[in-house]
A and B are shown apart, each in its own frame.
Chain A
Amino acid sequence: MEQVKALVLRAAGVNCDVETAYALQCAGAEVQRVHINRMIENPKMLDACQILVFPGGFSYGDDVAAGRILANQIVHHLADSLGKFIDDGKLVLGICNGFQVLVKARILPGFGGVEKPAAQPVSITDNDSGKFEDRWIYLEPATSRCVFIEPGRRIYLPVAHAEGKVVTSDETILEKLDAGEHVAFRYVDSQGCEGSFPVNPNGSVDSIAGLTDSTGRVLGLMPHPERFVHPTQHPHWTRLKDQDAPDGMTIFTNAVNFVRQNF
């Protein structure tokens, strides 16, 4: 496919839609920012695109819990359309609040099989620190089957959230995540080792920073790849002489390339 099309979903309180759309454009996609009300009115608009992104922000003010109200809208108005979108082999990305939405709408971790789980097996809750924090962290890819991720490439991105701690209902779920390679990224230090705060900025179990579903075409992560697509976004770029392509771009480029090759 020549022209890859992406939708970036807006809703009240979503606030990273513009820079997320820009990152997708830089990766070569044609991007439209769409309000949730329009999508609920006309879910068929999903047919014309191949990438759907739930960007960061505070959808509905994080009222009740982060992502919960928007997830409730997805579950009650768009579950079928979104299910078909994924079944069609298309890509879904949730960043920060978007990740919270995907988890709370039970689209992630997406163990597969016919039945959706009745209750969420995984959730995202208050940081151990109890407050919002903006800081840069390293991410180590933990799966080889997620189309957004370049295996083996450790990346450096910012997190900015108050509710980013990934938790599971019990140990067996954790084992299942591990066994099925659902963990997309883990928080590590610059050398690749897991650790406590601030290496793991929120206290996530098993240092989980992102999850992918059984297809590898749905990715949710707390860090913000769209905030590192230009060299001067690096927090100490003034110290670096030669920078590689900004780490955040890899996520968007991989997505666009996957669509180009498979559609």
Chain B
Amino acid sequence: MKQWRFEICNRSGFDDVHGQGVLEDIHELGIKSVESACSARVYLIEADFDRDFAVGVVEELLTDAVCDEYYIGRSDAPAGPMQATIIEVHLKSGVTDPVADSVAMAIADMGGKARTVRTARKYILLGTISQSEAETIARRVLANDCIEDVIYGTDAEPPSPHTSPYELNVGRIPIAELDDKGLVKLSKRRDLFLDLREMQTIRDYYSESGREATDVELETLAQTWSEHCVHKTLSSSIDLDFDGQQVHFDNLLKETVFKATKELNKDWCISVFADNAGVVAFDEEDAICFKVETHNHPSALDPYGGAATGIGGVVRDPMGTGMGAKPIANTDIFCFGNPDMKLDDVPKGVLHPRRIMKGVVAGVRDYGNRMGIPTVNGAVYFDDRYMANPLVFCGNVGILPNDKCFKNAESGNLVMVVGGRTGRDGIHGATFSSGQMTHEHEDIFSHAVQIGNPIVEKKMLDTLLAARDAGLYEAITDCGAGGLSSAVGEMGEKLGAEVDLEKVPLKYAGLNYTEIWISEAQERMVIAVKEENLQAISELFAAEDVESTVIGRFTGDRKLTLRYDGDVVGQLDMEFLHEGICKYSRKAVWNAPKTTEPAIGAKDNYNEDLLAILSSYNVAGKDWIIRQYDHEVQGGSVIKPLVGVNNDGPGDAAVIRPKLDSDRGIAISCGMNPLYGDIDPYLMALSGIDEAVRNIVSVGARPDRIALLDNFCWGDCRKPKTLGSLVRAAQGCFDGAMGFEAPFISGKDSLNNEFLCDDGTTIAIPSTLLISAFSIVDDVNTCITMDAKEPGNVIFVVGLTRNELGGSHYYKIHGAAGTNVPTVDIETAAETARRIHEAIERSLIVSCHDCSEGGLAVALAEMAFAGGFGIEADLRGLPCTDDCTGAERELFSESNSRYVVEVEPACYDAFARLMLNIPFGQVGQVVHRQRLAITTRQRKTVVDIELDRLKDAWRKPLMLS
């Protein structure tokens, strides 16, 4: 069979956008010797067709007649005086190649047949480049070692696509005989990430049953018992020593986050902490669900693939909630290292923060956009400690009919796997993400990186929703962490299940049964199907080219039985698998750090401070990221992430209408402030909840229908101090949820976010709690935005400003942290939120902005430049505490529970009456003059800047190419 090779590149006169991007990235690396970079696409097609047909394929299918030219075969290095370095990047054998699949299908449409299709990218770099520079460029810019192979020059052969078939070989491990040392060794050797007590529990199980373990049984236990899957830290018993005071928890989660939900007992909560996502009521017909996941470790190794599969994975949570929800919105929140960091300062085994950021954004973009799900809300935080452990939070909101909120698999139902095929990608993701990262992870855990194909997921989604509505399956769940082992194990927990692993469709031959069972290959769902519906559902999937395969059956024996070609290769009691894990008790300590307020001298003018805060990466505009996401697909967008007269101001929360023929909406927001956590994690949690509530209330959503989600990302919680900070945050979650009457409905934790450098030092992330919130908007036509609307309108601040600069951005730009972290007076905060909502509902305010990072000065600046009108502020009316003295506190204090609102003169009285007994005050007015001027209580004008300068300072820092 002939191997055809086609090279496609841009015709001269048409920009090689990809090549230009590569050249920029190379220059960013500090390699200036490369003068130009050209890219070409390479297709390797093994087929029987003749040259005429081959020319047809390349001309009609692979080449754009206007923009491209092609070469059949392997082109030589370009002639000319400049040294040319040729680098080709091929996918490693077995890595998903969606383009190749599409090309094979298109060749069939043309009447031909290809045996194999592979794709590659070729780069021609001109300039005097050493071999070591070429290797650096390949490693850092062109290729990802985890999934790609690089070949140099024009002679080297691309990697072979063929993998050899698998021959059954059951691995038996005499675990019953092992001593403690042997158990620890076994756990380490097999990357089980199980500790000694867990291994002892497993050993005792086998001793009692008097048999050897098989490899797949141990792997199943390791997946199911991983931190990722069972949250053993958060649900363990904990003794906290908090500044000398002793607090005991039998189960931390149940006594904090869950407890608030239970005590609040809201009738609109349909399913909480039970399914893949939390479900709440929406309207008469439908319910809404929301889940936020993290995908941190994979994104550190392969930012693009890790983030893409982060979105792909979280989308499958609502798809696997109840009988399956339709995804209607994505959220994404990222934490990165400083993008300006010097290359030399980046530790071995870590990618540069800038590369991580670009890759993560591109990954979320490509997966979310292709799935046709709008990405509507997000945030980005920067701190050097995220350098080796970037955090990637991906959220998804779904809608499902009220009568499809619960599932019910029964014994006798068939186990069917739907969607993508299983490959070697993503093996050990659950266990790997539960451990600490080291400088060697890049090599050892490359197989933990998953490769996404959003179109497979989209096809699967379309057909699953059709099957759901036709009532063709009984239960559904996603294949996430732990792959089939978790999905089948969970769905069959109360029943028992038998699975024939050789039936699972594979991407390529050679996988052993354990790999099949625990692979985290993407885009797969597991459903339980009644035998009588098998034909109908199979036809429904086949009609839209979605693969579905029966791989087993739910039994009634409460055992998990795994077979390969008829041989039993593993059998575990469901009870041991799900309940057998030992309970932990842990020690936690939190002593309030001894911090002091910095001495930063008072000044006459704060223009430069305000500009510096606006330009600091955490506050600066995220336009560059937001616009790369389709935030309008599905047609439901009401309040977009960018608002204002030029569509470029920072909106507080997103609002969407999930149903095109209804004006009922949902608002989505988030709150997070890791800077506070260093000083007081309890207040960090309260502040996060307050911020999420403020954001959501600011656009007009109901404060009495807010549901919350928690995502805890912490360092190594075996360290009592780290765990102590986690416990304090969990206590904050309880108090905040109770105070705002906003129940938590779902959550997730990612612990062990620490990186062991090759010099033996450890980098731990700052304790990071993300609070996501969503609520109902009864009528989206009442929503408002944060941009100043009209000169002559009056600006009020609602809520008390205190002496609270601890962890503020003002201190941060001065290199300090301070100690007075913003507190929350929950009762007043909740009442303020209710009054603001009423004011919006009664159209008494025309704009409302949450006052948060950077304080009042930043909020006023943002409202002014987003609206295109100046604001003249006079802070004599600012409600503040007695100790809130000095311009810097008035301007930059980050006190919670504050809103800046704009009121038309005609509504002045009604608004003031409504705010009675709430701290509020008039602080200025909207003006035509294109400046922000702020005069303090001492009648000194301390800020006076033209809007363009403010806006530039805010917009430009993150305007990346």
Enumerate chain A interface residues (CB-CB to B < 8 A): 10, 12-13, 15-16, 18-19, 22-23, 35, 37-38, 56-58, 60-65, 68-69, 72-73, 75-77, 119-123, 125-128, 130-136, 158, 160, 167-169, 224, 226-227, 229-233, 235-236, 238-239
Contacts and interface: CB of A to CB of B under 8 A. Distances in A.
A22 B660 contact: yes
B640 A64 contact: no
B370 interface: yes
Nearest to B665: A232
A233 B110 contact: no
A10 to B, nearest CB: 8
A108 B789 CA distance: 44
B369 interface: yes
Interface range on chain B (Cβ under 8 Å from partner): 35 or more
Given A238-B785, A239-B645, A120 B459 contact: no
Nearest to A169: B66
Contacts of A230: 635, 657, 660
A177 B17 CA distance: 26
The 7 lowest CB-CB distance pairs between A and B, nearest first, are A15-B372, A19-B635, A63-B102, A123-B66, A119-B65, A130-B17, A61-B455
A62 B366 CA distance: 11
A76 B630 contact: no
B297 to A, nearest CB: 26
A125 B64 contact: yes
B622 to A, nearest CB: 13
A17 to B, nearest CB: 9
At the interface, is chain A mostly helix, strand, loop or mixed?
mixed
B365 to A, nearest CB: 6
Given A61-B453, A132-B628, A134-B629, A15 B458 contact: yes
A236 B644 contact: yes
Contact of B67 (A77, A158, A167): A167
Contact of B640 (A57, A123, A235): A235
Contact of B635 (A125, A226, A239): A226
Contact of A128 (B15, B631, B663): B15
A60 B453 CA distance: 10
A58 B657 CA distance: 23
A229 B638 CA distance: 12
Given A58-B455, A227-B633, A236-B785, 6 more contacts: A15-B372, A61-B454, A72-B110, A126-B17, A130-B18, A130-B21
B642 interface: yes
Chain B CB within 10 Å, residue with most, of A23, A62, A226, A236: A236
Nearest to A119: B65
Given A63-B99, A123-B67, A238-B783, A167 B14 contact: yes
B458 A12 contact: yes
A230 B642 CA distance: 18
Contacts of B593: none
B647 A120 contact: no
Contacts of A239: 644-645, 785, 787, 789, 867
Chain B CB within 10 Å, residue with most, of A16, A62, A63, A233: A63
A58 B631 CA distance: 15
Contacts, number: 187
B62 interface: yes
A239 B643 CA distance: 10
Chain B CB within 10 Å, residue with most, of A57, A58, A69, A239: A239
Given A22-B635, A238-B643, A69 B105 contact: yes
B111 interface: yes
A155 to B, nearest CB: 16
B627 interface: yes
Nearest to A168: B66
Contacts of B103: 63-64
Nearest to B456: A12
Contacts of A19: 633-635, 660
A12 to B, nearest CB: 5
B179 interface: no
Contacts of B768: none
A229 B635 contact: yes
A56 B787 CA distance: 31
A236 B643 contact: yes
B646 to A, nearest CB: 8
Contacts of B783: 232, 238
A123 B365 CA distance: 24
B785 A123 contact: no
Contacts of B99: 61, 63-64
A255 B110 CA distance: 33
B860 interface: no
Interface string B761-795: 00000000000000000001101110101000000
Given A19-B635, A131-B628, A232-B780, A12 B455 contact: yes
Given A18-B634, A72-B110, A125-B14, A37 B372 contact: no
Interface string B605-630: 00000000000000000000001111
A65 B634 CA distance: 23
Nearest to B639: A238
A60 B455 contact: yes
A113 B98 CA distance: 38
B369 A132 contact: yes
A169 B12 CA distance: 11
A35 B632 contact: no
21 contacts: A12-B458, A13-B455, A16-B635, A22-B660, A64-B62, A72-B61, A72-B106, A72-B109, A73-B106, A75-B60, A123-B64, A128-B17, A134-B627, A135-B627, A160-B369, A229-B635, A231-B781, A236-B647, A236-B785, A238-B846, A239-B789
B634 to A, nearest CB: 6
A249 to B, nearest CB: 12
Nearest to B369: A132
B365 A63 contact: no
Given A72-B60, A235-B642, A60 B102 contact: yes
Contacts of A238: 639, 643, 783-785, 787, 789, 846-847
A125 B543 contact: no
Chain A CB within 10 Å, residue with most, of B59, B372, B454, B961: B372
Chain B CB within 10 Å, residue with most, of A65, A169, A238: A238
Contact of B66 (A37, A136, A167): A167
B61 A133 contact: no
Contact of B647 (A22, A72, A235): A235
Contact of B109 (A16, A62, A73, A232): A73
A168 B789 CA distance: 44
A58 B64 contact: no
B60 A233 contact: no
B637 interface: yes
A226 B394 CA distance: 27
Contacts of B642: 235
B109 A233 contact: no
Contacts of B98: 61, 63
Chain B CB within 10 Å, residue with most, of A73, A75, A132: A132
Contacts of B272: none
A75 B784 CA distance: 48
B729 to A, nearest CB: 35
A25 B628 CA distance: 30
Given A58-B369, A65-B64, A130 B20 contact: yes
Contact of B657 (A15, A38, A232): A232
Given A132-B369, A136-B647, A35 B627 contact: no
Chain B CB within 10 Å, residue with most, of A12, A73, A120, A169: A12
Nearest to B655: A232
A169 B69 CA distance: 12
Contact of B370 (A61, A130, A136): A61
Contacts of B283: none
A230 B638 CA distance: 9
Nearest to B361: A131
Nearest to A158: B632
Contacts of A69: 102, 105-106
Contacts of B867: 239
